[in-house]
Structure 1
Amino acid sequence: MSTIRTGTDLAAVEDVVAGISAHGERYLDRLFTVRERTDAGDDPERLAARFAGKEAVVKLLRPAPDQAIPLREVAIVLDDHGAPTVELTGAAAALADAIGCGAIAVSLAHERGLAVATAVALSDR
């Protein structure tokens, strides 16, 4: 039997701006893949939406308290039509496989200094 898994997250654009101001490239490289940064054009609003998307996916995957999922292993990238999609690598991909998680759909939005994302997938467990 399949189970519907969901995750939602809200991120403040000012937190992304503060992270970039304080730590620059180190902050960006720790959280985002090159493709994510290219897709977002390093725009803080778009990066905040991707950050929220990553967190929503991690919530959907529900890792154990002692199981780390590096946010770079959850990439929110644009498909050929400009729609956001999820690409998993490393521990994130392994956890998705272990729970029988199929393709993950993600929706992103940003407005008035906030970014929100919702992720949905079907899982065997």
Structure 2
Amino acid sequence: MTTIRTGTDLAAVDDVVAGITAHGERYLDRLFTARERADTGDDPERLAARFAGKEAVVKLLRPAPGQAVPLRDVAVVLDAGGAPVVELSGAAAALAESVGCGPIAVSLAHERGLAVATAVALSER
């Protein structure tokens, strides 16, 4: 049976700024891939949108309690046309495969200090 999976998240730009201020490169490298950083130019608004996108994807995947899905295993990058796309690796890719999750679509927005993302996918389980 095919089901629709969704996930939504909201992130504050100020939280990203605080993370960068407090931890610098360590914060950025722990959460974001090199491609995400290149796509955003390390702009806090765009990074907050990517963070919300990552969290929305994890919510869509529905890991079991205690099951770790590192946020770097979910990358929200731009395709050739400039639209955001999701690339999974590691634990996120394994979880998506285990639940029969097809490609994940993601939508991002940011305004007035907040960023929001919604992720949608079809699943065969």
Query: One fold, TM greater than 0.5?
Result: yes
Q: Which residue of 1 aligns with 2:26?
A: 26
Residue by residue, what CA displacement relative to the aligned partner does 1:34-80 show, whole Å, maximum 9, x if unpaired?
A: 00000001000000000000000000000001100000000000000
User: 1:56-115: per-residue Cα shift (whole Å, max 9, x none)?
Assistant: 000000000110000000000000000000000000000000000000000000000000
Q: What is the 5 A alignment of 1:1-125?
A: 1-125=1-125
**SS at the partner of 2:24?**
helix
In the alignment, the residues of structure 2 paired with residue 53 and residue 83 of structure 1 have an alpha-carbon distance, to the nearest angstrom, of 13
Aligned residue pairs: how many? Answer: 125
Displaced runs of 4 or more, over 4 A: none
TM-score (norm 1): 1.00
Identity rate of aligned residues, in percent? 85
SS at match of 2:38: helix
CA RMSD of aligned residues (A): 0.3
TM-score by length of 2: 1.00
Aligned-partner Cα distance in 2 for 1:108–1:100: 24
| Structure 2 unaligned spans of 5+ | none
